[in-house]
Amino acid sequence: MGLGMSTDHVDAGTRGEVTFINRFTVHAAHEEFERIFAEVSQFMRDKDGFLGNTLFRNVDEPHIFINVARWRGAADFRRAVADPAFAAHAGALRAVSTSEPGLYAPCLSFSAVPAGGER
């Protein structure tokens, strides 16, 4: 962490791996949404710095989905969404859903205690 960093500045957000998290409320058939989402993901996976993504579906509210996408850095992510060809993909998603996007930095992680392991 650099000198002079304010406590409210998320350092990893600009210099380390970032995670784009987007919550979708789908107002079309979920198969249609998933088809379009797959096309957008296939576009993104060719972009420099894309590490991988998973689309999750809400168990209790099946029209709610969350995409969790890992990128090498914020600059890579911002470059990918600034690609003019991305606009058509974003528009296709907007035609079938509303979304609440955000760019995040990993903050804390915990793994399961190994079987028989000590705390």
Residues near a copy of itself (CB under 8 A) = 7-10, 13-14, 18-19, 21, 23, 30-31, 34, 37-38, 41-42, 44-46, 50-62, 64-66, 68, 74, 102-113, 119
Q: How far is the CB of 85 from a copy of itself (least distance, A)?
A: 15
Question: Which is nearer to a copy of itself, 42 or 94 (by Cβ)?
Answer: 42
CB 61 within 8 A of CB 16: no
Task: Round to whole Å and give the CA distance between 55 and 73.
Answer: 20
Other Cβ atoms less than 10 A from the Cβ of 33: the count is 22
Q: How far is the CB of 95 from a copy of itself (least distance, A)?
A: 19
Question: Which is nearer to a copy of itself, 21 or 81 (by Cβ)?
Answer: 21
Question: Which is nearer to a copy of itself, 3 or 119 (by Cβ)?
Answer: 119
Q: How far is the CB of 55 from a copy of itself (least distance, A)?
A: 4
Q: Which residue has the tokens 């579906």?
A: 57
φ and ψ at residue 69, rounded to 5 degrees = -120, 125
Q: How far is the CB of 74 from a copy of itself (least distance, A)?
A: 7
For residue 59 the two structure tokens come to 């168990």
CA atoms within 13 A on the CB side of 19: 12
